[in-house]
Amino acid sequence: MAPGWERWRAQLEEALSPVCEWLIGEIAPRPGDTVLELSAGPGDTGFAAAAIVGERGRLISTDFSPDMVEVARRRGAELGLQNVDYRVIDAERIELDADSVDGVLCQSGYMLMADPATALSETRRVLRPGGRVAFSVWGAPERNPWASIAGRIIVDRGQMPPPEPGAPGVFSMASEERTRALSEAAGFSAVRTQEIPVLLAFRDLDEYESG
């Protein structure tokens, strides 16, 4: 998966820039802060925070996939970032001390985890008091035809079983109520949600398939 991600990095970065901007705005990092990004993928969301926290601060860019961590490492080197630690981390067992980071970012990650409740509890554990998590998941299937149409076709043709409710997947946290409940059960307070519209563009179906 990682080579595909790297190829699509620029296109995804543009398409998901509204999400990135919202996430960064919500954790509002300050110079000197330590920011953790979970499921960082190619790393771009966290890199935006790295630029803000500056040389006195630190970004810990993490992913469950070692290949993806290497994608982010290469991208960070291209950007000349000096304040980023790249680590393979399982979000359900975050190998960081309690109360050790000022903010946590996670774009399109928790929904793919086997146990998002544990991952959110771990997130709360490593956040300092008052620190914020900002994360995004995908909304309802009918609002996301870029993913739901292909999924429906493949399921209808019997090539993939229909997703089980609550199982990890693109739409597993599409319910605002479930996402809010998971967050609050993990110990987060002042939980807010917001819809963020995006537009995914591609030249042709070959490009769509390979993305």
- The pair of three-digit structure tokens given for residue 104, joined into one six-digit string: 């946590």
Give the residue from 66, 58, 72, 69 showing the smallest Cα distance to 13: 72
Please report whether residue 19 would count as binding other proteins according to CB under 8 A. yes
Please report whether residue 210 would count as binding other proteins according to CB under 8 A. yes
Please report whether residue 46 would count as binding other proteins according to CB under 8 A. no
* Residue 93 near residue 122 (C-beta atoms within 8 A): yes
**Among 50-58, 72-80, 91-99, 185-193, the segment contacting other proteins (CB under 8 A):** 185-193
- Cα–Cα–Cα angle for 97, 117, 30, rounded to 5 degrees: 45
Among 130, 164, 165, 167, binds other proteins (CB under 8 A): 130
d(CA 158, CA 118): 32
Burial of residue 210 (CB within 10 Å: 0-12, 13-18, 19+) is exposed
- The pair of three-digit structure tokens given for residue 25, joined into one six-digit string: 């705005």
Minimum gap (Å) between residue 120 Cβ and other proteins: 9
Minimum gap (Å) between residue 80 Cβ and other proteins: 29
**Among 44-52, 55-63, 86-94, 133-141, the segment contacting other proteins (CB under 8 A):** 133-141
Please report whether residue 198 would count as binding other proteins according to CB under 8 A. yes
- Cα–Cα–Cα angle for 136, 123, 30, rounded to 5 degrees: 75
β-bridge mates for residue 58, sequence order: 34
**Among 48-56, 78-86, 88-96, 192-200, the segment contacting other proteins (CB under 8 A):** 192-200
58-117: contacts with other proteins (CB under 8 A): 108
Q: How many CB atoms lie within 10 A of CB 62?
A: 27
Please report whether residue 10 would count as binding other proteins according to CB under 8 A. no
Positions in the binding site for other proteins (CB under 8 A): 1, 4, 16, 18-19, 22-23, 26-27, 108, 127, 130-140, 143-147, 149-151, 153-154, 157, 159-160, 169-170, 173-174, 176, 179-180, 183-184, 188-205, 208-211
